[in-house]
Amino acid sequence: MQRIKLADVARAAGVHPGTASRALNPETREQVSPATVRRVARAAQRLGYVPNPVARGLRTARSFLIGMVVPDVTNPLFPPMVRGAEKVLTQAGYTLVLTDTDNDAATERRQIELLRARGTDGFIVATARWHDDLLAEIAAAGVPAVLVNRNTASAELPYVGGDERTGVRLAVDHLVALGHRHIAHLGGPADTSTGRERAAAFRQSVLQHGLPATDLVWACAAYTEEAGAEAAGRLLASARPFTAVVAGNDLIAFGVLDALARAGRSCPGEVSLIGFNDMPHLDKLAPPLTSVALPLAEMGAQAARILLSRVDGSAGGPPAQSLLGVELKVRASTAPVT
């Protein structure tokens, strides 16, 4: 079967091939009248025209591929970000290539290097460590890249994340309003910006309420259920008094629930618990988990928009550092002190 060419579409629509090209390209569609865009689109659909990305790339010196790098694709935090980014990129004529590093720095480097070798136009990176040599190299090389959810100490690349400090403050304010005076924070790893930022925000928030903080802030080894259970087990074994826990994320909170159950401690009867990220289906837990909700899809979409502006050269000034609003979703895992 002969491949339908752009010239065939242009002939069927009664326009010049250049006009047909602009009408079918999301980046140039506004240069053509809406009526012409509709006519060309109908002709393309009727003929079964499929754009040739290789030819397009040769004309523009781009691959129209964007790599999105996540640490764990099975973590429910990331699919909404991926979908948000993909929607923006697809509308702009790009294809998103998703890669999972399994939280391994060597795997991350290998995957990014392979994608760069294949001409990938830019990267959305959700795997940043606080001190990250690979991302420093990318920034120095001028590779278009945007960080999402996690930042670096150098802030050399654009970043999109949730307002961590406000989220933690909302969690602590809620627990204090319920009468809690001994609140623990089982946070994320200290080599991530989210772990560091949430721990610092927790210390600041409890001190503002005049509560003790220093001996009740512990970093978990990872953002996993297993790490949360291990840290909660150590907290319970320490015999330090606590009636509430602010977890570094929802997976850590799941581990806390398991450790409390094994220790015969009820939630929220004896220990109130708050997660972070508001993953799907938290209302189905027993008890339903109170959590800080991040605008995950919008974070992915905003990262994609910023990246596109860097790929096409329209971005100017220092790297943007964007914080999006958060919300505390109160459910049955928090209750007044008994």
| CATH code (residue 150) | 3.40.50.2300
Residue 26 lies in a domain: no
Asked whether residue 269 falls in the same domain as residue 302, the answer is no
Which class for 155: exposed (0-12), middle (13-18), buried (19 or more C-beta within 10 A)? middle
Residue 259 lies in a domain: yes
Q: Which of 1-10, 77-86, 140-149 has the lowest mean pLDDT?
A: 1-10
Query: What SS3 state is found at 263?
Result: coil
Tabulate helix, strand, coil % of the chain (nearest 5): 45, 15, 40
Asked whether residue 183 falls in the same domain as residue 254, the answer is yes
Per the omega criterion (within 30 degrees of 0), is the bond before 158 cis? no
What is the reported pLDDT for 214? 66
Residue 335 lies in a domain: no
Asked whether residue 113 falls in the same domain as residue 152, the answer is yes
Q: Which of 155-169, 271-285, 307-321 has the lowest mean pLDDT?
A: 307-321
Helices (H), the chain: 6-13, 17-24, 34-47, 53-60, 78-91, 105-117, 133-141, 164-177, 193-208, 225-237, 250-262, 296-311
Residue 25 lies in a domain: no
What is the reported pLDDT for 58? 41
pLDDT at 261 over 60: yes
Q: How large a percentage of the chain has pLDDT more than 90?
A: 72
The number of distinct structural domains making up the chain is 2
Cβ neighbors of 254 (< 8 A, separation 6 or more) are 225, 228
Placement of tokens 């560091």 in the chain: 196
What average pLDDT does this structure show over 254-259? 97
pLDDT at 213 over 70: no
Residue 105 lies in a domain: yes
Mean pLDDT rounded to a whole number for the chain:
91
Q: How large a percentage of the chain has pLDDT more than 70?
A: 95
Which residue range forms the structural domain that includes residue 249?
Answer: 164-294
Q: Per-residue confidence at 119, pLDDT binned at 50, 70, 90?
A: confident
Query: What SS3 state is found at 322?
Result: strand
Residue 287 lies in a domain: yes
Q: Angle CA(199)–CA(193)–CA(189) in degrees, nearest 5? A: 65
Residue 32 lies in a domain: no
Asked whether residue 121 falls in the same domain as residue 264, the answer is no
Asked whether residue 288 falls in the same domain as residue 305, the answer is no
Give how far the C-alpha of residue 185 lies from the chain's centroid of Cα atoms, to the nearest Å: 22
Q: Cα–Cα distance between 184 and 275 in angstroms, integer?
A: 12
Asked whether residue 259 falls in the same domain as residue 112, the answer is no
Q: Cα–Cα distance between 326 and 135 in angstroms, integer?
A: 27
What average pLDDT does this structure show over 258-281? 96
pLDDT at 2 over 70: no
Cβ–Cβ under 8 Å, residues 159 and 151: yes
Which class for 181: exposed (0-12), middle (13-18), buried (19 or more C-beta within 10 A)? middle
Q: Per-residue confidence at 4, pLDDT binned at 50, 70, 90?
A: confident
Asked whether residue 124 falls in the same domain as residue 204, the answer is no
Asked whether residue 183 falls in the same domain as residue 275, the answer is yes
Q: For 320, phi and psi rounded to 5 degrees?
A: -70, 140
Q: Per-residue confidence at 63, pLDDT binned at 50, 70, 90?
A: confident
Asked whether residue 175 falls in the same domain as residue 118, the answer is no
Nearest of 126, 130, 77, 135 to residue 101 by alpha carbon? 126
Residue 6 lies in a domain: no
Asked whether residue 207 falls in the same domain as residue 185, the answer is yes
Contacts of 145-149 spanning 24+ positions with Cβ under 8 A: 145/307, 145/310, 146/122, 146/303, 146/304, 146/306, 146/307, 146/310, 147/303, 148/81, 148/85, 148/124, 148/299, 148/300, 148/303, 149/77, 149/81, 149/194, 149/299
Asked whether residue 149 falls in the same domain as residue 182, the answer is no
Asked whether residue 202 falls in the same domain as residue 264, the answer is yes
